[in-house]
Amino acid sequence: MNIGSRTRGDKIFDYANVTFFLIILFITIYPLYFMLIASFSSPDSVNNGEIWLWPKDITFEGYKMIFEHEKIWTGYKNSIIYTVVGTLVNVVLTITGGYALSRKDLVGRNVFMFFIVFTMFFSGGMIPNYLLVKDLGMVNTLWAMVIPNAISVFNLIIVRTFFQSTIPDELLEAAKVDGCSDWKFFLKIVLPISTPIIAVMVLFSAVGHWNTYFSALIYLRDSNLFPLQLVLRDVLILTQAQEVMDSGALMEGNAELQNVSELIKYGVVIIASLPVLILYPFVQKHFVKGVMIGSIKG
């Protein structure tokens, strides 16, 4: 029998598979596409169900009012700072911690792992965490957005598993024979061959910091320190939308106010999602690799 030949059943299965996943793709993408076209379509057309595949009565009034809001740009700047600094701290601590825990000559490493994993299931709670951050003097500072979430236990386990399955003990022994110290081995040998896991950690951490808002909601009081997500949350509130409109043209009537509020709601969702949507297609393979690394038993 020719292995390369395909039966009618195989072709039917392929067609059914492609059809099924196209449907799933449509179900996944269409809501985002709808928000995009609704963000610059007439609110009346959206509310009347006239918008399906193409925008209608195009207007950029919502985006205009959003970007006239100064705090949007401040939020963008703050989110970039929190993402860059937070990602740097996350990656440095996670990579070094994961490597140390992967070393068999680390005394008590199983005890350390027990207490680290324990925190995945039990924590002090929101109030004790806030009191700790307050006592450390980090409330209303950049560090309140970085230090409390400096290490993710899930990411630490992934990194530890990667090192256990990738860095053989014989490599370390050979390096020590040549007079290589632990630090030199880590910097000169381990890091250069750990580029995939470093890329994965950068992506996981950056996306997490970009999307975070709950920590800011708890620890930040100064609106000039708010990240983009928290600023957009405020914009979605009708009273905040009214402040946005007050900076632009004067509008009359509740109906017109409601229409502009709808434009703003769709617009802020697109603005918040745009950076990640642009980045994700280029880094998807790294996310897949991260999941595969975490599934390997060390």
Identify whether 2 is part of a domain.
Answer: no
Cα distance between residue 15 and residue 1, in whole Å: 23
Identify whether 267 is part of a domain.
Answer: yes
Lowest mean pLDDT among 22-36, 98-112, 186-200, 284-298: 284-298
| Number of domains, the chain | 2
H or E element that contains 197:
helix 195-211
Around 222, how many Cα atoms within 13 Å sit in the side-chain half-sphere? 10
Q: Tell me if 207 sits within 8 A of 179, measured CB to CB.
A: no
Does one domain contain both 187 and 249?
no
Residue in the structure block whose two tokens are 């914009």 = 235
Does one domain contain both 185 and 271?
no
Identify whether 194 is part of a domain.
Answer: yes
Identify whether 155 is part of a domain.
Answer: yes
Give 136-192 pLDDT, tens digit per residue.
Answer: 999 999 899 999 888 888 889 988 988 888 888 788 888 888 788 888 888 888 888
* Domain, as residue range, for 249: 8-67+237-295
Residue in the structure block whose two tokens are 């399906």 = 52
Identify whether 206 is part of a domain.
Answer: yes
Of 270 and 288, the one with more pLDDT:
270
What is the model's pLDDT at position 74? 87
Does one domain contain both 77 and 146?
yes
Does one domain contain both 260 and 290?
yes
Cα distance between residue 220 and residue 227, in whole Å: 10
Give 45-77 pLDDT, tens digit per residue.
Answer: 777 777 788 888 787 877 877 777 778 888 888
Does one domain contain both 135 and 190?
yes
Does one domain contain both 115 and 141?
yes
**pLDDT bracket for residue 298 (50, 70, 90):** very low
Identify whether 232 is part of a domain.
Answer: no
For the chain, how many residues are written? 298
Does one domain contain both 274 and 156?
no
Task: Tell me what the pLDDT averaged over the chain comes to.
Answer: 80
Rounded to an integer, the average pLDDT of 12-36 is 88
What is the model's pLDDT at position 236? 67
CA angle 136, 144, 130 (to 5 degrees): 60
Does one domain contain both 138 and 79?
yes
CATH code of 84's domain: 1.10.3720.10
What is the model's pLDDT at position 289? 61
Identify whether 164 is part of a domain.
Answer: yes
Does one domain contain both 113 and 136?
yes
Give 207-259 pLDDT, tens digit per residue.
Answer: 888 888 888 889 998 888 889 888 877 766 654 455 455 545 444 445 555 66
Last residue of a domain, which of 224, 248, 279? 224
Does one domain contain both 177 and 249?
no
Last residue of a domain, which of 198, 224, 250? 224
Does one domain contain both 209 and 92?
yes
Last residue of a domain, which of 167, 194, 224? 224
pTM: 0.75
Identify whether 230 is part of a domain.
Answer: no
Does one domain contain both 201 and 116?
yes
DSSP 108-154: THHHHHHHHHHHHH----HHHHHHHHHHTT-TTSGGGGTGGGS--HH
pLDDT over threshold 50, residue 6: yes
DSSP single-letter state for residue 52 = S
Cα distance between residue 245 and residue 131, in whole Å: 38
Cα Rg of the chain (Å, integer): 25
Cα distance between residue 266 and residue 241, in whole Å: 12
